[in-house]
Copies of this chain bind each other. A is one copy, B any other.
Amino acid sequence: MKVNVIKSVLKANDLVAEKTRQQFRQADVLAINLISAPGSGKTTLLEKTIPALKPEGESIVIVGDLETTRDADRLSPYALAVTQINTGMSCHLYANQVASALDGLPLDKADYVFIENVGNMVCPGEFDLGENLKVVLYSIPEGDDKVAKYPTIFRVADLVLLTKADLQPHMEFDTERVRAEINRLNSTVPILVLSSRDGQGTAAWLEWLRDKRTEAIGQAARFVTE
């Protein structure tokens, strides 16, 4: 009984997500779903990323949080538009929340959409929001034993960012062990070590975003001509 309810929620969610994905495709937008535990640096990363992408592209941000508009307030100086979704008691975003948020947003003027999910390493991995790609942030101060404990999220990741790398000298964190454990679950996922504070790894992250946007536009063009 309970399982059926969950299955039908997931199915309805996927239908909405697929429509959203078509909207992104038509607008030549790359949509990224950022997933992580609380405090892994999603908002800080976007504060650095959005201005750095400005020469070639504008960004829209959709932020999910239980309460407050803190993250949206921080990002509004940089982004073309920011919408904050307050999820109340829900520990993840649903596709219909993102779809509703898009209604009021200037998607045609945007090149990137960043969806900052609620801080949670479990549930966001199960809910397709219509994004092109899922990026998982795993912050080094969380400790190096988290991969096997949250396997679902690493299995669905298209990129893993090991964040707050500036704190690594003050921690015991075995990056090679973490890389090996991630690639055991997801053999092809790229892993970048990054610090928004000292800037390490951000060039590679920006390059990845630009490449993925180019790919997404190419696929959208093929989709239109087919």
Contacts and interface: CB of A to CB of B under 8 A. Distances in A.
Interface in A44-89: 65-68, 70-71, 89
A149 B68 contact: yes
Tallying the copies of this chain within the complex gives: 2
Contacts of A141: 39, 139, 141-142, 164, 167
Contact of A146 (B39, B118, B123, B149): B39
A37 interface: yes
Interface in A112-162: 118-123, 126, 139, 141-143, 145-146, 148-152
A40 B145 CA distance: 12
- Size range of the chain A interface in the assembly: 35 or more
Contacts of A222: none
Q: Is the interface of A mostly helix, strand, loop or mixed?
A: loop
A29 B142 CA distance: 31
B38 A150 contact: yes
A5 interface: yes
Given A5-B5, A145-B70, A170-B170, A38 B151 contact: no
A221 interface: no
Contact of A2 (B9, B66, B142): B9
Contacts of A41: 143
Contacts of A89: 122, 126, 152
B38 A121 contact: yes
A37 B167 contact: no
A150 B66 contact: yes
Contacts of A66: 122, 149-152
Contacts of A217: none
A21 to B, nearest CB: 24
Given A5-B5, A122-B120, A38 B148 contact: no
Chain A to chain B: the 7 pairs with minimum beta-carbon distance, closest first: A39-B142, A141-B141, A91-B122, A37-B38, A68-B148, A39-B143, A37-B37
A41 B39 CA distance: 14
B121 A119 contact: yes
B70 A148 contact: yes
